């Protein structure tokens, strides 16, 4: 199932639903309308509430998706009539694991962006205020000249985890989505030198394209055999397999849930693969510029598109 958060054209309140991929174009199944047709008076209105409602609610939604064309044909929306929002807009915790691909670690070392190799999973916080959705236009503020792309696999937690063990980690995962962890390298280098842990250059408004959907975990045969890709203006910039990750979700969830409860709707982004602009000899030519169209994908499963625009 492909879970999305969206607004209808001309409306302002977010809704949740599912994306149905069709050869003739995507269709959207709005869950609120399904619940109304089935005389269900209370159904979660946000993705976080939906995940926290548990397995029965997830199963209900899957049954609606399976019979969407037969039972809900009249309420299906063309994807052209919605605006995609980040699938989860109000996560309590969105932790981004850094330095987690061997190929990326090597290029950071070459460019002086790390001081030492991590001995355990490390992370920084991605603020909800920087998130945006599929097909969004992202403003590159004036003064930023080194804007980089970072396609990342994100694990979405489906139930509360406290003291989780490695061998049971996947039991807590609802699905995966994509983050383009846009990074202002101008400020990142200064923050590395100063020892800052806030990563201002990753939390500028708009610098968190997320989505377009949560692909439920039952649709992913192996999360450690996925190709993360990035193209800019149709030209492929990177293609790295998730098998290159140092810390797996089992390591990450066990580490961070030792003392702090990880709740349904929380997210872990598992780091940038190798191949970002800063790691190339011709980095200055590769940094994102106004007019660039960036597609980050889990190849064969999902893709999120962003257009970079200049500050007015």
Q: So what's the pLDDT on residue 113?
A: 62
Q: How big is the chain by its Cα radius of gyration, in Å?
A: 19
Mean pLDDT of 99-125: 77
Q: Residue written as tokens 């174009």?
A: 25
Dihedral over Cα of 302, 83, 26, 89: its sign: positive
Q: How far apart are CA 125 and CA 111, in angstroms?
A: 23
Residue-range domain boundaries for the chain: 2-85, 94-310
- 199 has pLDDT over 70: no
Range 94-310 has CATH code 3.40.190.10: no
Backbone angles phi, psi at 121, to 5 degrees: -60, 135
CB 280 within 8 A of CB 174: no
pLDDT digits (tens, 9 = 90+) for 73-99: 999 999 999 999 999 999 999 999 988
At residue 103 the predicted structure's pLDDT band, cuts being 50, 70 and 90, is: confident
Segment among 7-11, 20-24, 135-139, 226-230 with least mean pLDDT: 20-24
- Predicted local distance difference test score (pLDDT) of residue 190: 52
Kind and range of the H or E element at 293?
strand 293-298
Any idea which residue has 């994100």 for tokens? 154
Tell me: the pLDDT tens digits for 213-269?
A: 999 999 999 999 999 999 999 999 999 999 999 999 999 999 999 999 999 999 999
Neighbours of 243 (CB within 10 A): 14
**What span, in angstroms and rounded, lies between the C-alpha atoms of 232 and 177?**
20
**pLDDT single digits (tens) 258-298:** 999 999 999 999 998 999 998 888 999 999 999 999 999 99
Burial status of residue 227 (CB atoms within 10 A of its CB: 0-12, 13-18, 19 or more): middle
Q: Give kind and range of the element (H or E) at residue 71.
A: helix 68-71
pLDDT band at 40 (very low <50, low <70, confident <90, very high): very high
pLDDT recorded at residue 193 = 41
Q: Is 88 helix (H, G, I), strand (E, B) or coil?
A: coil
Q: At 303, list the tokens.
A: 């893709």
Give 38's DSSP letter: T
pLDDT band at 201 (very low <50, low <70, confident <90, very high): confident
Distance CA 237, CA 143 (A): 24
* pLDDT value, residue 189: 55
Average pLDDT, the chain: 92
What is the Cα–Cα distance from 83 to 13, expressed in whole angstroms?
11
Nearest to 93 by CA among 152, 58, 48, 151: 48
User: Quick one: pLDDT at residue 72?
Assistant: 96
How far from chain centre, in Å, is Cα 93?
13
Q: Is the pLDDT of residue 126 over 90?
A: yes
pLDDT digits over 165-180, tens only?
999 999 999 999 999 9
Alpha-carbon distance of 65 to 76, in angstroms, equals 11
């Amino acid at each position: 199932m492909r879970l999305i958060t969206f607004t209808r054209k001309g409306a302002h309140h977010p809704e949740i639903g599912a994306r149905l991929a069709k050869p003739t174009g995507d269709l959207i199944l709005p869950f609120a309308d399904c619940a109304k047709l089935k005389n269900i008076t209370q159904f979660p209105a946000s993705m976080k509430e939906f995940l926290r409602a548990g397995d029965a609610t997830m199963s209900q939604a899957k049954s609606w998706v399976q019979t969407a064309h037969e039972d809900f044909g009249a309420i299906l929306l063309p994807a052209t009539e919605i605006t995609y929002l980040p699938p989860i807009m109000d996560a309590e915790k969105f932790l981004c694991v850094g330095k987690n691909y061997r190929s990326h670690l090597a290029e950071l070392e070459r460019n002086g962006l790390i001081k030492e190799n991590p001995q355990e999973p490390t992370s920084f916080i991605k603020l909800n205020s920087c998130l945006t959705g599929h097909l969004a236009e992202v403003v590159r503020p004036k003064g930023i000249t080194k804007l980089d792309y970072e396609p990342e696999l994100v694990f979405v937690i489906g139930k509360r985890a406290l003291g989780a063990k490695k061998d049971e980690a996947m039991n807590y995962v609802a699905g995966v989505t994509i983050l383009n962890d846009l990074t202002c390298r101008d400020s990142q280098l200064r923050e590395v030198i100063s020892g800052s842990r806030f990563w201002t250059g990753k939390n500028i408004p708009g610098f968190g394209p997320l989505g377009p959907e949560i692909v439920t975990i039952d649709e992913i045969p192996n999360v450690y055999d996925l190709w993360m890709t990035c193209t800019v203006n149709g030209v492929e910039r990177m293609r790295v397999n998730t098998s290159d990750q140092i810390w797996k979700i089992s390591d990450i969830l066990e580490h961070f849930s030792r003392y702090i409860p990880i709740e349904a709707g929380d997210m872990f982004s598992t780091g940038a693969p190798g191949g970002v602009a800063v790691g190339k000899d011709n980095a200055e030519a590769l940094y994102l510029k106004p007019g660039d169209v960036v597609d980050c994908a889990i190849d064969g499963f999902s893709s999120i598109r962003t257009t970079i625009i200049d500050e007015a």
